[in-house]
Chains A and B, each alone.
Chain A
Amino acid sequence: MTQVAATPLADLRADFPILERVESGHPLVYLDSASSSQKPRQVIEAMDSYYRHSHANVHRGTYELAREATELYEGARERIAAFAGWETATTIFTRNVTEAINLVAYAWGREHVGEGDEVLITEMEHHSNIVPWQLLCAERGARLRYLGVCPEDGTLSLDELDAVLAEGRVKLVSVAHISNVLGTINPVEQIVERAHAANALVLVDGAQAVPQMPVDAAAIDADFYAWTGHKALGPTGIGVLHGRRETLEAMRPFLGGGSMIARVERDFSTWAELPLKFEAGTSPIAEAVGLGVAIDYLAEIGMERVRAHELELTAYALERLPEVEGITLFGPPDPDGRGGVVSFALEGMHPHDISELCGREGVCIRAGHHCAQPLMRCLGVAATARASFSVYNAREDVDRLLDALTKARKVFEL
């Protein structure tokens, strides 16, 4: 591995083969990591090596190869759990955050949310933290409620949370740790404390947080904490759900099938111990191996340094972007209160056209509703453009974005 500990983060670019790509005649500037990050060669090589030398199904065979695959898979789980400050046995592999939240909605929600109960989410949630609760509430006759987002600074109100909790009907609060649109870092510790005092459980969607700041899930003390591999320098197809042991043990399974059973009789079955109870079917083994190496890579950099780097780039973007005429920035004005994502609008240009024209300059930004349509309505827009950062970005990438935006405005004769 590259000696990352002594390297300025942006110099890690060389570890990411895709960044050598030339896009429309320009070196690639990838500013869409909040959607999916790129992968260092260490991750790619580990997965390649796994398939070349170590693949067999896990938890089954007694031959050496199967033992080796199982050790790689379970070894990755141990490191992934420790990385997020959680216990190994209650760290469950899912396909992604979406599946993790659906798991909770199905296996916990159906047993604990009934008629007249409430599930509380916020207006800044990703669709993956909205739709599973809509389905659950419709099925159970429960009510889905939203905490408002302050349109000026993109924050939640803890007073509003207290007021809703005080009504006594909330069974679960489900909230993003960091908004994928606004970048807002939500006070999840305080939310958990208040929800628990009101006998409600809490799920935290850490999809944006885990890749860019130190996360100690045990200190946050949520009942469920979910995140995904592909935004954290790892592969697609693997997500993580950390759950509280007694809650997971009391839950019914999610998907039924192989791996998740202790014994199958003709008319009933008994369940495997955690975490396998929630891992039906053949596991994403290579993906776990890849994610294990991705978090090793992040851990070697040090998440404090990753956070400092994200903060520097975000502060720089917030400082420079207002130079572009007609720009509106969304989210908290203070970079300390936000993660490495900056959403914006340009007067007279639709976000799709902005991203199309930036793409021609080799600058990849996202445009659209970012799977957060209720939030778009709060902001009074149909879509935004969004730039987001990872370890391989540098201030020069922000400069390139500015140049691309200036050029785009010229094309539109603005």
Chain B
Amino acid sequence: MSDALYRDYILDHYKEPRNFGELEPHDLEHHDHNPLCGDDLGVHIRVEDGRVADLRFHGQGCAISQAAASIASDELIGMPVEEVGRLDADWVIDLLGIDISPTRRKCALLSLKVMRGATTGDASWPE
């Protein structure tokens, strides 16, 4: 029976994260952490014609934060850079497709925080 939080696809993305590693050369980068647990996540982004041409996340974290980064990465590639800055918390939580309790919210949002930091310079937690 699949777990309500740790669904098969969440575990799959956690164990085999997509678009993880370094990207050289890259145009944008940002590195951040979750102060509650010390998890850290960075991103390298290559930009072409105002769009995210390619990206790589790197760092370590829990299943929720790693899966969120992995699932989001596929959506982010090809997206206009300007649009990334407008993404909100619901975007990534909807993508995850699981109920996120308040205690795990920052885990889910870390990858978006890092993406927004890289593209807009605004590294505040997404609302």
Contact = CB atoms under 8 A, between A and B. Distances in A.
A174 B100 CA distance: 40
A411 interface: yes
A150 interface: no
B104 interface: yes
Interface stretch (B17-25, B47-55, B60-68, B75-83): B60-68
A367 B34 CA distance: 13
B114 interface: no
B5 interface: yes
Contacts of A196: none
A368 B34 CA distance: 10
Contacts, number: 47
B37 A412 contact: no
Contact of B104 (A349, A356, A382): A356
Given A352-B107, A356-B104, A382 B37 contact: yes
Interface string A353-397: 100110000000001110001001000001100000000000000
Contact of B37 (A348, A349, A352): A352
Contacts of B64: 352-353
B94 interface: no
Contacts of B63: 349-350, 353, 412
A369 B6 contact: no
Interface in A316-363: 348-353, 356-357
Contact of B61 (A350, A373, A376, A413): A350
Given A411-B3, A412-B6, A353 B62 contact: yes
B38 A376 contact: yes
B1 to A, nearest CB: 10
B36 A368 contact: yes
Contacts of B66: 350
Nearest to A368: B37
Nearest to B33: A382
A368 B61 CA distance: 10
Contact of A382 (B11, B38, B107): B38
B10 to A, nearest CB: 10
Contacts of B104: 352, 356
Nearest to B103: A356
A369 B37 contact: yes
A357 B62 CA distance: 12
Interface centre among B15, B36, B38, B61 (most CB of A within 10 A): B38
Interface size class of A (residues with CB under 8 A): 10 to 19
Nearest to A373: B38
What is the interface of chain B mostly: helix, strand, loop, or mixed? mixed
B38 A412 contact: no
Contacts of A350: 39, 60-63, 66
Nearest to B3: A411
A350 B61 CA distance: 7
Contacts of A357: 6
Contact of A412 (B11, B40, B61, B107): B11
Contacts of A353: 6, 62-64
Quick one: which of A356, A357, A373, A412 has the most chain B CB within 10 A?
A356
B37 to A, nearest CB: 4
Contact of A369 (B5, B38, B62, B107): B38
A368 B33 CA distance: 12
B38 A368 contact: yes
A411 B2 CA distance: 8
A353 B67 CA distance: 12
B11 A367 contact: no
A367 B3 CA distance: 20
Contacts of A376: 38
Contact of B11 (A356, A368, A383, A413): A413
Nearest to B2: A411
B46 to A, nearest CB: 27
B3 A382 contact: no
B86 to A, nearest CB: 29
B38 A383 contact: yes
A80 to B, nearest CB: 32
Contacts of B62: 350-353
A369 B64 CA distance: 17
Contacts of B3: 411
Interface hub of B39, B40, B62, B64 (most chain A Cβ within 10 A)? B62
A413 B8 CA distance: 9
Most buried by B among A351, A352, A369, A412: A352
A411 B11 CA distance: 9
Nearest to A350: B62
Interface of A: 348-353, 356-357, 367-369, 373, 376, 382-383, 411-413
Interface of B: 3, 5-6, 11, 15, 36-40, 60-64, 66, 104, 107
Q: Which 6 A-B pairs have the closest CB atoms?
A: A350-B62, A369-B38, A352-B62, A368-B37, A382-B38, A353-B63
